[in-house]
Amino acid sequence: MANEQAIQQELQEKFPYFGEKITISSERRIWAEVASSNFFEAFDYIVKKMNFSMLCLIIGLDSGDNLEFIYNLSRYDGTMLNLKTFVPKTNPVHKTVTADYFPGAELYERELVDCFGARIEGLPEGNRYPLPDTWPEGQYPLRKDWTPDMLDKQPEGK
Amino acid sequence: MDLNNVVKIPIGPQHPCLKEPACFTVSLNGERLAGLDLRLGYNHRGIEKAAESRTYIQNIYLIERVCGICSHSHPSCYIQCVEQIAGLEVPARGRYLRSLIGELERVHSHLLWLGVAAYEIGFETLLMYSWRDREVVMDILAMLTGNRVNYAANVIGGANRDITEDHKKDILKAVDVLEERTKYYIEVATEEATLIARLSNVGYISLDDVKLMGTAGPTARASGLDYDVRRDDPYAAYKDIPFKVITDTHCDVYGRALVRVGELMESYKMIRHIIQNIPDGPIAVKAPRKIPAGEAISRYEAPRGEDVHYVRSNGTDKPERVRVRAPTMVNLLSVPKMLEGDNLADVPITIAAIDPCFSCTDRAIRVSDLDGGNAKVMTWNETRRFGIDWYRKNGIDFTDLNKRLAGRMR
Amino acid sequence: MSVSLFEMIVFPGFIFLGVMGMLFEYLDRIVYARLQNRKGPPWFQPFADFIKMGSKEDIIPREADSGMFVLSPLLAVTAVVVSAFYIPMWGGKALFSFFGDAVVVIYLLTIPTVAYFFAGWYSTSLYSTVGAVRTLTQLFAYEVPLFLVILAPGILANTWSLSGMAEFYSQNPLLCVTNVVGFMVAIVALQGKLERTPFDIPEAKTEIVGGTFTEYSGRLLAFLKLTHSVKTVVVAALVSAVFLPFGVEIGGVLGFAIFIVKIAVIVCILSAFKAALARIRIEQMVDFCWRYVAPAAIFQLLISMVLGALTGCGV
């Protein structure tokens, strides 16, 4: 676990705001939490300086008033750092990582847009994913307050 | 580029080269590719949303149906998350059994791929041969788990079924047969001129691009990326099983084929090792019905690449959120890169070479009359009603038949 | 030079060739299946397919040119049947022959390919258009070598009549050996002409769905398939008349049996190629034909010319 602790320490020293919010859950699994205003500072450092050069997944979650995004970053030795950030549901805006870091993250971000109603700034125009083009506006199926019958109640022809 | 010479050809949503719906709109300049546009999501079934309203046990079977071929990979990956949150330690025999089914699944998936790839380049004989041999491993899987796919071989806390001494003998015999056949395929792959001509220098992607796009699995290893979750982030019994990570430096479809047949050979060795060294003991521990609050993420090297599952629990018997990432999700995005400057004829095989599996939520059916142009949303029940009425209008009525059947059942 | 209705429709015309075509289609399918370790279809499968497809509705796309759409398959089948009249099958001579009928046959056998092109082009579907263009591209690659090697034996025989060639070589069977290169070239070119793997590029189903015939259905598709089967027999008969003319002078039942065996051998060779090879790309195909097949054809021509000069029996 020495390796994981070293990563923990390095991040805590470099970015004091991590503090207690960086934990090791098991071998090769590190969890960290960061406010969205500091997100890109930490993200840049972790990706470019600490060699977490693989983005496994971006997970979107509905945690009450906020949308929660978890960026699963990994090294090629299997160590995985899960960087969490929150954006308020009233203004769910976040910047894209496809432009500067991972062009392969496009589908994950589109999913955040379609299923959670997040607004990802800088995401290039393109086809929707995963919902159909005719999907009604303002329905975000993976939010907790969404139920399937909301779709059936849609007025016809819309 | 002169846009007048560009022809746009849709490959999909329904197309002979795709086994599942996806739409690749190919722009062609003569036979050369000028662009590629991806449209996915035809197969979105809302599994992640559905998982939130089912118990952990029910979810095993739901997640198993994310993919027919990787139907051991996905539930294993999901169960690893749940076990991690609940703090369950899987007994050694259970871990070995998981690896055993996992490797058998890899064998069947790679043999399937070999056939599909051969079909895409019009080499139907290889399709027939490799699918015939795939039956050997399918029989073994059916014998061990009772099913050819969707094995239900896992429970939370271990494995579902044990294997006997007779099973071991049958598995070893089957592996011997398969190994011999695979050697023959390697011979074909390295000697058959038309095969090499169709696969070499097609779908080229460099190591740098692979790292940038996050490409996973055999596709990445064929570009020289020495990375395998089984070795680098071991799960199940892979810590105890010696194996070699197969890589290749061709960076093209040919390399991907070589990696996959190489992995077949490794899998045979691993299956033999598992059979010879499987420890005795219980196969599972008992799992609680309610899982304590927490979250976990787990990775699994599925035949097609890295599966990533995330589970967050809230202390009840239903998860708060389940997130599934199949390897195809990342691999697909590298397809436009691979196809740069290639021919139309290379499109099917390049798409096939990442071994795509488009599985993902949809429950609304939108019927739109193309001639009139008025779209209409139909709910599931309306669609069912519509179907019954349509057949009745055409003189076919199942109501009596259904009643009679129901009567007989009683 | 008149032809009776019986000859045209029944024997050796349309019906005879159709039945032969289907029987050899069965042979092709069963050999292909056995090579792939499959069981293969029963003998009546091609007939059943034809009857079933014939009973289905014809769908003509709204966008398509309906005249050309319907005419193209008929044009193809007519050209193939007519060309069969000039090919000696057994009992010595063909139904018709004159000096230079080899050239006529080769041109007649090009018509189906062009008809396929029209069929694809006037369907206006994207897939068929691509298929049609591929059909023509491929035509330019295999046609020249095929033309050269069919005419090469004629130099030695001092005739450009197919019946004449067959007669000459059946009298001098040893001279056939000099045409081995030509025979091999012809077999390669045949696979292009018949659009078979590895040259089934115009109808590569994993790329362009049904290729040229994507939009066809029902009776028209049945006719196109029939044309294909008949074309296989006619082209195989052409190659056997030119390169394997053993026993062509024998008539009656024995002659017919010899003829059947020769065609069967050629069909089996083609099936074996189909089973053993993958489909190649169009530019690889053109490249292969011009780099290897065309020079080999010219080589065959040179052999014939030199031999003709040496033996004095050439032109």
pLDDT attached to residue B339: 81
pLDDT attached to residue B372: 44
Dist. CA B340–CA B352, nearest whole Å: 16
Domain topology for B47-353 = Cytochrome-c3 Hydrogenase; chain B (1.10.645)
Helix (H) or strand (E) holding A22: strand A22-26
Parse chain C into domains and list their residue ranges. Answer: 5-311
Inform me whether the pLDDT recorded for A93 exceeds 80: yes
Per-residue pLDDT band at B268 (split at 50, 70, 90): very high
pLDDT attached to residue B366: 44
Sort strands A93-95 and A119-121 into parallel, antiparallel or unpaired. Answer: parallel
Closest to C182 in 3D by CA, of C156, C220, C211, C151: C151
Dist. CA A107–CA A110, nearest whole Å: 5
Inform me whether the pLDDT recorded for B198 exceeds 50: yes
Dist. CA A45–CA A14, nearest whole Å: 9
**Whole-number CA gyration radius for chain B:** 23
Mutation for C interface: B33, B134, B344, most C CBs within 10 A: B344
Question: Which chains have 3 or more CB–CB distances shorter than 8 Å to chain A?
Answer: B
On chain C, the residues whose CB falls within 8 A of the CB of B351 are none
- A158 occurs within a structural domain: no
Four-CA torsion A47, A53, A54, A58, nearest 10 degrees? 10
> Which part of chain B is CATH 1.10.645.10?
47-353
pLDDT attached to residue B304: 85
Inform me whether the pLDDT recorded for A110 exceeds 70: yes
Closest chain C CA to residue B127: C36
AA letter at C235: V
Inter-chain CB proximity B121 and C198 less than 8 Å: no
Inter-chain CB proximity A129 and B213 less than 8 Å: no
Closest to B80 in 3D by CA, of B155, B145, B141: B155
Domain range for A84 is 2-152
C286 or C169: whose pLDDT is higher? C286
Q: What is the pTM of this model?
A: 0.84
On chain B, the residues whose CB falls within 8 A of the CB of C282 are 31, 343, 345
Inter-chain CB proximity B364 and A151 less than 8 Å: yes
On chain C, the residues whose CB falls within 8 A of the CB of B28 are 130
When CB atoms are compared, the residue of C37, C129, C209 closest to B15 is C209
Per-residue pLDDT band at C26 (split at 50, 70, 90): very high
Per-residue pLDDT band at C85 (split at 50, 70, 90): confident
The structural domain count of chain A equals 1
Q: Which residues contact C263 (CB under 8 A, 6 or more apart)?
A: C20, C24, C233, C236, C237, C240
- A136 occurs within a structural domain: yes
Question: Which chains have 3 or more CB–CB distances shorter than 8 Å to chain C?
Answer: B
Q: For position A146, which CATH number holds?
A: 3.30.460.80
Q: For the ranges B25-29, C51-55, C91-95, C120-124, which has the lowest average pLDDT? A: C91-95
Per-residue pLDDT band at B373 (split at 50, 70, 90): very low
Give A77's DSSP letter: T
Per-residue pLDDT band at A152 (split at 50, 70, 90): low
Quote the ipTM score.
0.87
Taking only residues 300 to 339 of chain B, the set having a beta carbon closer than 8 angstroms to any beta carbon of chain A reads 306, 308, 310, 312, 320-321, 323, 325, 329-330, 332-334
When CB atoms are compared, the residue of C201, C276, C282 closest to B125 is C276
The C-alpha angle with vertex C250 and arms to C245 and C251, in degrees rounded to 5, equals 125
pLDDT attached to residue C27: 92
C168 or B245: whose pLDDT is higher? B245
Interfacial residues of A (vs B; Cβ cutoff 8 Å):
25-26, 28-29, 31, 53-57, 59-62, 70, 72, 76-78, 80, 82, 102-108, 127-132, 134-135, 141-142, 148, 151-152, 154, 156-158
Q: For the ranges A44-48, A99-103, A135-139, B291-295, which has the lowest average pLDDT? A: A135-139
Phi, psi of C215 (to 5 degrees): -85, -5
- A13-61 per-position pLDDT tens digit: 888 888 888 888 888 888 888 888 888 888 888 888 888 888 888 888 8
pLDDT attached to residue B3: 52
When CB atoms are compared, the residue of A31, A102, A129 closest to B214 is A102
> Does the CB of B46 have a partner CB in chain A at under 8 Å?
yes
Inter-chain CB proximity A130 and B360 less than 8 Å: yes
Mutation for B interface: A106, A108, A152, A158, most B CBs within 10 A: A152
- B68-83 per-position pLDDT tens digit: 788 888 889 899 989 9
A with B: touching (≥3 Cβ pairs within 8 Å):
yes
Inter-chain CB proximity B197 and C201 less than 8 Å: no
Q: Is B256 exposed, middle or buried (0-12, 13-18, 19+ CB in 10 A)?
A: buried
Interfacial residues of C (vs B; Cβ cutoff 8 Å):
35-38, 126-127, 129-130, 197-198, 200-201, 204-209, 275-284
- What are the start-end ranges of the E strands in A53-130? 54-63, 66-74, 80-88, 93-95, 119-121
Q: Is C148 exposed, middle or buried (0-12, 13-18, 19+ CB in 10 A)?
A: buried
> Does the CB of B24 have a partner CB in chain C at under 8 Å?
no
pLDDT attached to residue A139: 81
Which residue has tokens 């089984």? B230
Per-residue pLDDT band at B368 (split at 50, 70, 90): very low
Inter-chain CB proximity B198 and C36 less than 8 Å: no
Which residue has tokens 């081995």? C180
- A122 occurs within a structural domain: yes
